[in-house]
């Protein structure tokens, strides 16, 4: 089980970007130590948060972060629109950006195994975040969204001058 600290407060920045107006945090107990270690090793800042009796791992996206919400082709919005999974997508965007930054900064010494583990952990956070969202996201929609990043997300963790 996990929880978010807020609803999204963001300003639209045409043509397809949003700028967070306040921080957004997600805390979950669903990550194992390998997930947490992989994310921390690539540079994700994680803190601990008490939720009930559980000590959870928390990821925070700072105000000012630029996101596209979810990268869903417009043609598919009838099935899954970016705003359907927005909070989980913003957290996921931060994790993928951190993976790209790690890869950019370690071009000559990149640990391919670590990158793979971090991507798997980031995608897991995305799925967990959708499961914990309010209002509820239907399970089929969460699964399809997660499967899309699982199968097609490798291109999104390739760093370029424009995406780091």
pLDDT of residue 104: 97
Summarize the confidence of residues 54-76 as an average pLDDT. 94
Q: pLDDT class for 28, splitting at 50, 70, 90? A: very high
Q: How far is CA 25 from the centre of its chain?
A: 11
| Tens digits of residue pLDDT in 81-94 | 889 999 999 999 99
| Tens digits of residue pLDDT in 46-62 | 999 999 999 999 999 99
pLDDT of residue 128: 98
How far is it, in rounded angstroms, from Cα 35 to Cα 38?
A: 5
Judge whether residue 77 has pLDDT over 90: no
The single residue listed with the structure tokens 């669903």 is: 30
Beta carbons of 87 and 133 less than 8 angstroms apart: yes
Domain ranges of the chain: 2-151
Q: Average pLDDT of the chain? A: 96
| Tens digits of residue pLDDT in 134-151 | 999 999 999 999 999 999
Q: pLDDT class for 1, splitting at 50, 70, 90? A: confident
């Amino acid at each position: 089980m996990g929880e978010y600290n807020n609803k999204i407060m963001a300003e639209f920045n045409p043509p397809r970007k949003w700028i967070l107006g306040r921080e957004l945090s997600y805390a979950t107990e669903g990550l194992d130590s390998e997930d947490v270690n992989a994310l921390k090793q690539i540079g994700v800042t994680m803190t601990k948060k008490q939720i009930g009796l559980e000590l959870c791992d928390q990821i925070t996206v700072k105000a000012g972060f630029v996101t596209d919400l979810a990268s869903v082709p417009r043609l598919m919005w009838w099935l899954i629109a970016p705003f359907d999974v927005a909070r989980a997508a913003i957290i996921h965007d931060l994790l993928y950006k951190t993976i790209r930054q790690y890869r950019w900064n370690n071009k000559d010494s990149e640990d391919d195994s670590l990158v793979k583990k971090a991507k798997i952990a980031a995608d897991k956070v995305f799925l967990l975040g959708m499961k914990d969202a309010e209002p509820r996201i239907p399970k089929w929609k969460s699964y399809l969204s997660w499967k899309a990043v699982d199968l097609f997300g490798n291109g999104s963790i390739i760093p370029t001058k424009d995406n780091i």
